[in-house]
Amino acid sequence: MNMMDMLMALIAVVFFTTIALIYNQAMWRQADNLSDAALIVQASQLCHMTLDEIDAKLFSKQLAFANVNTQYTFTRTHNAPHLSTSFTIQSVAADCDSVGNNLATPVVNNIYKRVIVTVSGPSGLRHPVSLMRLYTKTNLNI
Protein backbone atom coordinates (compact mmCIF):
# COMPACT_ATOMS: atom_id res chain seq x y z
CA MET A 1 0.00 0.00 0.00
CA ASN A 2 1.53 3.25 -1.07
CA MET A 3 1.08 6.71 0.40
CA MET A 4 -1.78 7.65 -1.96
CA ASP A 5 -3.82 4.58 -0.98
CA MET A 6 -3.34 5.35 2.70
CA LEU A 7 -4.41 8.96 2.17
CA MET A 8 -7.53 7.86 0.28
CA ALA A 9 -8.42 5.37 3.04
CA LEU A 10 -7.96 8.07 5.68
CA ILE A 11 -10.14 10.52 3.74
CA ALA A 12 -12.83 7.83 3.34
CA VAL A 13 -12.81 7.12 7.08
CA VAL A 14 -13.11 10.83 7.92
CA PHE A 15 -15.85 11.30 5.33
CA PHE A 16 -18.00 8.39 6.53
CA THR A 17 -17.44 9.27 10.20
CA THR A 18 -18.58 12.83 9.52
CA ILE A 19 -21.71 11.59 7.74
CA ALA A 20 -22.50 9.22 10.63
CA LEU A 21 -22.09 12.02 13.19
CA ILE A 22 -24.31 14.41 11.23
CA TYR A 23 -26.97 11.71 10.84
CA ASN A 24 -26.92 10.83 14.56
CA GLN A 25 -27.08 14.49 15.55
CA ALA A 26 -30.13 14.99 13.31
CA MET A 27 -31.80 11.92 14.83
CA TRP A 28 -31.25 13.21 18.38
CA ARG A 29 -32.62 16.61 17.40
CA GLN A 30 -35.70 14.97 15.85
CA ALA A 31 -36.31 12.89 18.99
CA ASP A 32 -36.06 16.10 21.04
CA ASN A 33 -38.61 17.80 18.77
CA LEU A 34 -41.00 14.85 19.12
CA SER A 35 -40.73 14.99 22.89
CA ASP A 36 -41.43 18.74 22.83
CA ALA A 37 -44.43 18.20 20.57
CA ALA A 38 -45.89 15.57 22.91
CA LEU A 39 -45.63 17.96 25.86
CA ILE A 40 -47.20 20.83 23.91
CA VAL A 41 -50.09 18.64 22.76
CA GLN A 42 -50.69 17.46 26.34
CA ALA A 43 -50.57 21.03 27.69
CA SER A 44 -52.98 22.23 24.99
CA GLN A 45 -55.34 19.38 25.83
CA LEU A 46 -55.31 20.38 29.51
CA CYS A 47 -56.18 23.97 28.57
CA HIS A 48 -59.05 22.82 26.36
CA MET A 49 -60.26 20.42 29.05
CA THR A 50 -60.65 23.27 31.56
CA LEU A 51 -62.35 25.60 29.07
CA ASP A 52 -64.67 22.85 27.84
CA GLU A 53 -65.63 22.09 31.44
CA ILE A 54 -66.82 25.69 31.79
CA ASP A 55 -68.78 25.39 28.53
CA ALA A 56 -70.47 22.20 29.66
CA LYS A 57 -71.37 23.51 33.11
CA LEU A 58 -72.78 26.75 31.70
CA PHE A 59 -74.79 24.88 29.07
CA SER A 60 -76.21 22.39 31.59
CA LYS A 61 -76.91 25.18 34.09
CA GLN A 62 -74.69 23.60 36.76
CA LEU A 63 -72.77 26.88 36.90
CA ALA A 64 -74.27 30.35 37.12
CA PHE A 65 -72.66 32.89 34.81
CA ALA A 66 -71.94 35.19 37.76
CA ASN A 67 -69.92 32.42 39.47
CA VAL A 68 -67.42 31.87 36.66
CA ASN A 69 -64.96 34.34 38.21
CA THR A 70 -64.97 32.69 41.63
CA GLN A 71 -64.96 29.05 40.56
CA TYR A 72 -62.44 29.30 37.73
CA THR A 73 -59.67 31.35 39.27
CA PHE A 74 -57.34 28.66 40.61
CA THR A 75 -53.98 26.93 40.41
CA ARG A 76 -53.76 23.14 40.52
CA THR A 77 -51.45 20.32 39.54
CA HIS A 78 -52.23 17.59 37.03
CA ASN A 79 -50.14 14.41 37.03
CA ALA A 80 -49.43 12.74 33.71
CA PRO A 81 -48.12 9.26 34.54
CA HIS A 82 -47.77 8.27 30.88
CA LEU A 83 -45.26 11.13 30.46
CA SER A 84 -43.77 10.67 33.95
CA THR A 85 -44.31 14.33 34.76
CA SER A 86 -46.83 16.79 36.16
CA PHE A 87 -48.26 20.05 34.84
CA THR A 88 -49.36 23.17 36.69
CA ILE A 89 -52.70 24.53 35.48
CA GLN A 90 -53.44 28.17 36.29
CA SER A 91 -56.85 29.58 35.43
CA VAL A 92 -57.75 33.26 35.73
CA ALA A 93 -61.33 34.44 35.14
CA ALA A 94 -62.26 38.11 34.97
CA ASP A 95 -64.88 40.53 33.69
CA CYS A 96 -63.98 42.07 30.36
CA ASP A 97 -65.41 43.99 27.42
CA SER A 98 -66.67 42.47 24.17
CA VAL A 99 -63.17 41.92 22.75
CA GLY A 100 -61.55 40.58 25.93
CA ASN A 101 -59.85 43.71 27.25
CA ASN A 102 -59.74 44.36 30.98
CA LEU A 103 -62.35 46.75 32.30
CA ALA A 104 -61.04 50.02 33.75
CA THR A 105 -63.96 50.16 36.16
CA PRO A 106 -66.17 47.24 37.20
CA VAL A 107 -69.56 47.07 35.49
CA VAL A 108 -72.58 45.79 37.37
CA ASN A 109 -74.16 42.79 35.61
CA ASN A 110 -71.39 42.62 33.00
CA ILE A 111 -72.30 40.17 30.22
CA TYR A 112 -68.72 39.25 29.23
CA LYS A 113 -66.23 37.02 31.05
CA ARG A 114 -62.71 36.11 29.97
CA VAL A 115 -60.99 32.94 31.15
CA ILE A 116 -57.27 32.46 30.52
CA VAL A 117 -55.84 29.02 31.21
CA THR A 118 -52.05 28.67 31.33
CA VAL A 119 -50.31 25.33 31.61
CA SER A 120 -46.66 25.16 32.59
CA GLY A 121 -44.80 22.02 33.28
CA PRO A 122 -41.60 20.11 33.10
CA SER A 123 -38.34 21.40 31.75
CA GLY A 124 -39.10 19.85 28.35
CA LEU A 125 -42.02 22.28 27.91
CA ARG A 126 -39.94 25.31 26.97
CA HIS A 127 -42.78 27.85 27.06
CA PRO A 128 -46.08 27.76 28.95
CA VAL A 129 -49.14 27.05 26.81
CA SER A 130 -51.96 29.55 27.25
CA LEU A 131 -55.49 29.64 25.83
CA MET A 132 -58.16 32.28 26.30
CA ARG A 133 -61.92 32.05 25.80
CA LEU A 134 -64.57 34.76 26.03
CA TYR A 135 -67.99 33.94 27.42
CA THR A 136 -71.13 35.95 26.80
CA LYS A 137 -74.14 35.85 29.07
CA THR A 138 -77.22 34.56 27.25
CA ASN A 139 -80.63 33.34 28.31
CA LEU A 140 -79.18 29.81 28.36
CA ASN A 141 -76.57 30.48 31.05
CA ILE A 142 -78.32 32.91 33.41
- pTM for the structure as a whole: 0.73
pLDDT at position 37, please? 78
pLDDT at position 75, please? 94
User: Does residue 14 lie in a domain region?
Assistant: yes
How far is Cα 131 from Cα 123, in angstroms, rounded to an integer? Answer: 20
pLDDT at position 1, please? 67
Low-confidence ranges of the chain (pLDDT < 70): 1, 29-35, 123, 140-142
User: Does residue 115 lie in a domain region?
Assistant: yes
User: Does residue 22 lie in a domain region?
Assistant: yes
What separation in angstroms does the CA of 117 have from each of 7, 74, 76, 90? 62, 10, 11, 6
pLDDT at position 134, please? 94
User: Does residue 111 lie in a domain region?
Assistant: yes
Q: CA 71, 74, 78: angle at the middle one, nearest 5?
A: 115
User: Does residue 141 lie in a domain region?
Assistant: no
Q: How many domains does the chain have?
A: 1
User: Does residue 52 lie in a domain region?
Assistant: yes
User: Does residue 142 lie in a domain region?
Assistant: no
pLDDT at position 47, please? 94
pLDDT at position 126, please? 80
Residues of the domain holding 9: 3-136
